[in-house]
Structures are given as structure tokens and as C-alpha cells.
Amino acid sequence: MAVRIRMKKFGRKHRPYYRICAMDIRRPRDGRVLEELGTYDPLVPDTDARAVLNGERIAYWISVGAQPSDKVQVLIKKYGAGGTHVATQQAALDRLAQSRRRPEPPPPMPKAQKPAKPASEEGDRPAKGRRKPGAERPKEAAPAAEVAATADAAAAADEAATAAEAASTEEKS
């Protein structure tokens, strides 16, 4: 089986990202891989931090006859084991890791306790929000004088209605 070390494309439109993989030569570009050997992100602003390679595994695959593609050959020469830019790559990766770290958020502020309402204020207003299904609406307590007045008015209205009915039946007969 002929093995090639090449880039496998990921990402989305206008946002490419590549994995450097050992693949069978007959497989398509984004096909099944034998082993993933590193990554290459062309959108990282620091050029030396774009490629991250596993030098030991790349050396193994080359020793068993794998052929790197042209682009991967350049990356191996620069950033592989014993590459020309390994020291600058490590410094660039350290800078990138520092910029990705977020400062710790400040500790949460303790909540201030609200003063308790007096008992007389609590019953004055009905509760806000939805009621549970089947729950009865709380009834407000009416003063006894108002209840008595409304009861007297209702009784007087009933008596007047009865008297009016009796008068109308007498006229008809």
C-alpha cells in the first residue's frame, strides 16, 4: 500500500483548517486516514504558530516509505523534528496560549437582604403572576358594615320586586 502524508481539509467556506494525515494514496482528499499527525491553521495571525506536528510519528511514517506532499514537506522541514523554525514555533505557541487565557472573573457580590414587609401590607394586594390551575382566587376581606349594608339593600330590592309583581297580577285579573 502506498502511503502519502498530506493535508485533509476541514472548516467551512472561507475558514479553512487542515489536519496533516497519513493516508492511502488512492483515498480522496477528505477520505479515511491511517493516522493523524498534526494540524495546520492558516488563519492564525502568527505564522510560526500555524502548524503543530507530531515529529516522532512523521519520522516513523517517512521511515516506512510514506511520501509527504509538497506543502507538507515544507512544514516538516520547518516545524518537524529538528526543523529550522522549531524554537520560534515554540515561542509563538506560548504567546498564543497566553492570549487565549482569560482573566479570572471577580468573585460574586453578596446579595443584600430586602427588609421584611409588615403583616398589614402583605394582605392588601393580591399576588402577582399566574395561579395554579384549579386554585381559587384569594378573596379580600370586606368590613362587616359594608356586608350588612349590601345585604339590607339586596333584601329591600327583592321586596320591591315582589310587590311590583303582585301589583301587576292584580291589574290583569
At residue 102, the pLDDT reads: 66
Judged against a pLDDT cut of 60, whether residue 9 lies above it is answered with yes
Domains of the chain and CATH, by start: 3-100 (3.30.1320.10)
**DSSP E strands, 59-123:** 67-68
Rounded-to-10 torsion of CA 88, 93, 95, 100 = 170
For residues 26 and 71, give the distance between their C-alpha atoms in angstroms, rounded to a whole number: 19
Evaluate whether 46 touches 62 at the Cβ level (below 8 Å): no
For 83-112, b where at least 16 C-beta lie within 10 A, e where not — what string?
Answer: bebbebbeebeeeeeeeeeeeeeeeeeeee
Evaluate whether 5 touches 67 at the Cβ level (below 8 Å): yes
170 or 26, which is more confident?
26
Average pLDDT over residues 3-32: 90
pLDDT one-digit tens code per residue, 37-74 = 999 999 888 888 888 898 889 999 999 999 999 999 99
Q: Is 164 helix (H, G, I), strand (E, B) or coil?
A: helix
CA angle 8, 12, 14 (to 5 degrees): 105
- The model's pTM is 0.54
